[in-house]
Amino acid sequence: MTALGTVDGRYELLRELGEGSQGKTYAARAPDGATVAVKQLAFDAAQDWKALELFEREIATLRTLDHVAIPSFVDAVQTDDGYFLVQEFIDGEALDEVVAAGPLSGDELDRCAHNLLDVLEYLHTLVPPVIHRDIKPANIIRRADGSHALVDFGGVQTIVASDVGGSTVIGTTGYMPSEQLIGRAVQQSDLYSLGATLVHLGTGVHPADLPAVRLKIDWQGHAALSEGLTTLIDLLLEPAPEDRPATAADARRILAGGALVPAVASTALARVGRPERIRAIERPKRKCPARVRRRFSMRDGTLRIKLGSRIGLSDLATVLVLVAVGALGTHFHGSGMALGFGVVCAVFWLLSAALGGVFQRFSIDPSGRYVWSASSMYALVEKRDATLQRLELTDKSLYVCNDRGERQDLTEWAEPFERPWIAWILQRYCQDGTLEDLDG
């Protein structure tokens, strides 16, 4: 490819749109005559293999996305000059250029907030959730019709259950929340970035240039916005992720004048797919079994659940079979040795199951923070510490979904008749922070 030539002999470069440290972005003409955007990763400018990984991740993510406010994937091309991503060309103005001329009006800011929350709701409800990680005015395009598009998915992250520990730090100073600075971006991290972006657009001042009080941007003295927008921005900028709206849908309700729905309260609804398909977990009609009641306890406001172990009905059945075989041997042979042997075998079976078994425990506090652990008599086997986002009750399982995008079967070792009760009691605790009276 020569300067303003072609890419792969098919995409005719028309003009340069921007330049970064590792390549350029061009407007180009596709073989069918359509105008497209071509983003280049120059191999000789790539700083390390991570740059190539992020570029390939952007390509893979855009292939799967389908939203009017996200550029559509067109093609991916490799040449001697680099790696090229061809995508839909979004015609309009980047908001960093718009705000350079002065703050946006209240109406336009409100429209921008609605448009971006719609995009984030789409991204965050995908399976697995997609986190943009670099929301800022430069990555938002205002079209001629006043609608907005979110571009540059070069820092995108998909949260999957196997993600452990932190990830590469991606983002822009002033728009990144603290958890993203240590590589732990979650859905609420994008909401924080949106809040910081709205501050910049509404005040005309970069968030990094505004004062902070107790780690929170102090912006309200620099702009007079509507009550709904002011409330929303203030909540989006909370330093702790759990103090922000739990979802983009919750943020939209706040913008419309509704109250904040804390993350722990929203978990009282079992969700399947998109947020609009919501059903509450109903109280089981049968009386709560004593076995279920013994699983639950409260200490200092924290709900604790003993979820069970791998020592279950199958182990007890094995013991009974061993004893029965011994009893039959005694009956037919007239000797107690067979019965004694069966009993000894049963005892050894139970001991080995107890010593080698794994026990599950689960505890959750009023903030929605939970700890799940699996341990043997000798050591901790596995532990998970996260914030509960929602519950999903199916015919066979109760799933807890957390702020890392993980979905875990909480009742894998419980009996089928116990699952609805465990789900309902956990839901009630999420609603009012108390342990339901189970005797009624």
Respond yes or no: is residue 409 known to be catalytic. Answer: no
Residue 296 φ/ψ, nearest 5 degrees: -105, 145
Burial zone of 154 (CB within 10 Å; 0-12 exposed, 13-18 middle, 19+ buried): buried
Q: Residue 58 is encoded by which pair of tokens?
A: 């952007």
Structural contact between residues 124 and 247, judged by C-beta atoms closer than 8 angstroms: yes
Catalytic-labelled residue, pool 118, 134, 152, 250: 134
Alpha-carbon separation of residue 129 from 65, 121, 160, 405 (angstroms)? 12, 10, 8, 6
Give the residue numbers marked as catalytic: 134
